[in-house]
Amino acid sequence: MTHGGLLTKTYPYNTFNDYKYTVIFTRQAVPSGVGKGDTSSGNPLRWQWLYARHKERTTFETAGGRIEPGETPFQCAERELREETGAEKFHLHPAFDYTVHRSGISKGNGQAYLADVEKFGALDPTYEMAEIKAFDTLPDTMTYPEILPVLFAEMQRWLARNTPDEYWDLLDADRNPLGVTHKRGDPKPPGTYHTVVRAWVMNAKGEFISTRRCLTKLGSPGMWEITSGSAAAGETSRQAAAREVKEETGVILPPECIEAAELFRTVREENAFWDNWLFRHNFDLTDFIPQKGETMDAKAATLQDIAYMVETGYFVREELKILKNKLVK
């Protein structure tokens, strides 16, 4: 899209081999009534977008900047987010690529990120930003009005693709049902939890199905993991685990295998109960069927293989806790 002589275009994540900039769209959960006076949604929280104002300007912009030598785009995004917003505890998700051209001349390739921030600290006075301010959408005055609206619109589309209509049953800290469902992607009410399952499917050789997350997946894109996902509203933990295996790999577990499944570990972490199920099944990955937007590859891996991938940075680190505790034999 062209604005003021600038042409801004967006592309799928990791389209290019070289990057010059990153931008980070930052949001936080706030009480529903803040800035709106509306608490009718039933959820006490909603999202607000945060933008920064430079000390020498009156306009607002996303966090972001130039990638430094030896720095990856992700590392740049983490650094810029901390420096320009004061974010201390956050989840950072790669979203998409973009380019900006002026009069046909490229200004460099960039990557856009989404940051869900749980905790902010004070802005460091030695850095360039004077304040951060919350908005429901785009800021009223923008430092880059030719670029920001294009990227914000793509971020909305990216969020819609990555947060389908999915509902979870909410639980209290003791795992008692609250009789309330929650839509995925909305900020979760404080003190509530939902069920997340991890399905360890093991064959007679002691190998497990391992899947690779799509590059556009929220959280740990491109990493290998044990098949996992959230239990849908009205679904048992066991049913959810079997469903996730079918959806993410195409492997259909026999009824007797599902019935004999072992729940060998449950952990309450942050805002979810994680159930680890062991299914004994001689799977065949020859006809692996990836789930669009979720998985891009699958393979059989032993515990030793998984431990090596974790240590070398190719496997989701949460799995390491289970391996170290030797709860899967």
Q: What is the pLDDT of residues 83-126, one digit of tens each?
A: 999 999 898 999 999 999 987 788 899 999 999 998 999 999 99
Give 317's DSSP letter: T
pTM: 0.70
Measure the CA–CA gap between 138 and 59, rounded to whole angstroms. 12
At residue 28's C-alpha, the angle toward residues 67 and 109, to 5°, is 25
CATH architecture of 167-325: Alpha-Beta Complex (3.90)
Q: What pLDDT score was predicted for residue 3?
A: 47
First vs last Cα of the chain: how many Å apart? 55
The burial of 255, by beta-carbon neighbours within 10 Å (0-12 exposed, 13-18 middle, 19 or more buried), is given as: exposed
Cα-atom radius of gyration of the chain, to the nearest Å?
22
Domains of the chain by residue range: 2-33+41-162, 167-325
Return all residues near 50 (Cβ < 8 A) that are at least 6 apart. Answer: 26, 27, 28, 85, 117, 132, 133, 134, 135
pLDDT at 37: 44
Instruction: Tell me whether domains 2-33+41-162 and 167-325 share a fold.
Output: yes
Closest Cα partner for 201 from 255, 247, 241? 241
**Candidates 3.90.79.10, 3.40.50.740, 1.10.3720.10, 3.30.300.20; CATH matching 2-33+41-162:** 3.90.79.10
Angstrom distances, CA of residue 269 to CA of 84, 195, 231, 241, 315: 29, 11, 15, 18, 19
Q: Report pLDDT for 42.
A: 57
> Quick one: CA dihedral 305, 310, 312, 313, positive or negative?
positive
Which residues in the chain land under pLDDT 50?
1-3, 37-41, 329
The Cα–Cα gap between 75 and 35 comes to 33
Question: Ramachandran region of residue 42, left (φ > 0), alpha (ψ -120 to 50) or beta?
Answer: left
Which of 294, 297, 24 minimizes the C-alpha distance to 163?
294
- Helix H or strand E segment including 297: strand 295-301
Report the pLDDT value the prediction gives residue 310, as an integer from 0 to 100. 86
Nearest residue to 204 via CA among 274, 143, 279: 279
